[in-house]
Amino acid sequence: MTNPLLFLLAALTLVAIPGPNHLYITTRSIGEGRRAGVVSALGVETGTLVHIAAAAAGLSAVVAASATAFGFLRYAGAAYLVYLAYRTLRSRHRLGEMELAPQPIHRVYLDGALVNVLNPKVVLFFLAFLPQFVDQDAGAVPLQIAVMGLATGLIGLVSDIAYALAAGSIGGWLRARPAFQRRQRYLTSMIYLGLGAVAVFAGPSARRA
């Protein structure tokens, strides 16, 4: 790896910039509480591990180079977010017709993992960012990519959890307001649909989500 300090500074800067994953985690935490937000963060970064393994094995380059494979990933990710929007609209808490029903914690984790695994922008991020810091003379390029990917994922996890905790505090205040409760399902669904649109239009200029 060339200049590890420069890599860490670049990774910190990119991960700190709010992106779709942060918005997804924030939405989940506001709607369902801190626990759901933190579990979503763990799910999202589990998805990052899949991307790291794919990048180290060279599969990410294959996916990005194939219009068919990349298109499938892009539309599958968008379709899953549309499904989350639909499920949210159909969800109703027993105590309130308009209130969002909390999801089982294992489903929250799986949702986070799938949202990230099916996010084509993460594929592009690992292809565009990590190779810049690979030292070809040092050999073991897959190992270098794996180490840098894990470091980026760890930084991302800390950032994601920070967003989840902050959003959970805000969400507790909002959920106590009847006006927010009446609109909560619709607002959450609209955000998921917006993230789906972002996935559809993901392109080569995309940075890490």
Contacts of 185 (CB under 8 A, 6+ apart): 88, 89, 91, 92, 98, 99, 100
Structure tokens at 64: 């990005």
Given a contact cutoff of 8 angstroms between Cβ atoms, the answer to whether 29 and 44 are in contact is no
What integer pLDDT is reported at residue 93 of this predicted model? 53
Could you tell me the maximum CA-CA distance found in the chain, to the nearest angstrom?
63
Predicted pLDDT at 2: 63
User: Rounded to an integer, what distance in angstroms lies between the CA atom of residue 188 and that of residue 120?
Assistant: 22
The DSSP call for residue 17 is S
Reduced to 3 states (helix: H, G, I; strand: E, B; else coil), residue 91 is coil
The Cα–Cα gap between 155 and 93 comes to 35
Q: How would you write the pLDDT of the chain (209 residues) with one tens digit per residue?
A: 567 888 888 889 888 788 888 999 999 998 888 999 999 999 999 999 999 999 888 887 887 778 888 888 888 888 988 988 888 877 765 444 445 566 789 999 999 999 999 888 888 888 878 888 887 777 788 888 899 999 999 999 999 999 999 998 888 777 667 666 667 778 888 888 888 887 777 655 444 55
Who contacts 172 (Cβ-Cβ below 8 Å, separation ≥6)?
33, 34
Long-range Cβ contact pairs of 100-109 (< 8 A, separation 24 or more): 100/31, 100/32, 100/184, 100/185, 100/188, 102/32, 102/33, 102/36, 103/32, 103/36, 105/35, 105/36, 105/39, 108/28, 108/32, 108/36, 108/39, 108/40, 108/43, 109/39, 109/40, 109/42, 109/43, 109/46
Tokens 């219009």 identify what position?
Answer: 67
d(C-alpha 68, C-alpha 201), whole Å? 15
Q: Which DSSP symbol is given to 96?
A: B
In whole angstroms, what is the distance from residue 191 CA to residue 195 CA?
6
Strands, E assignment, 58-198 = none
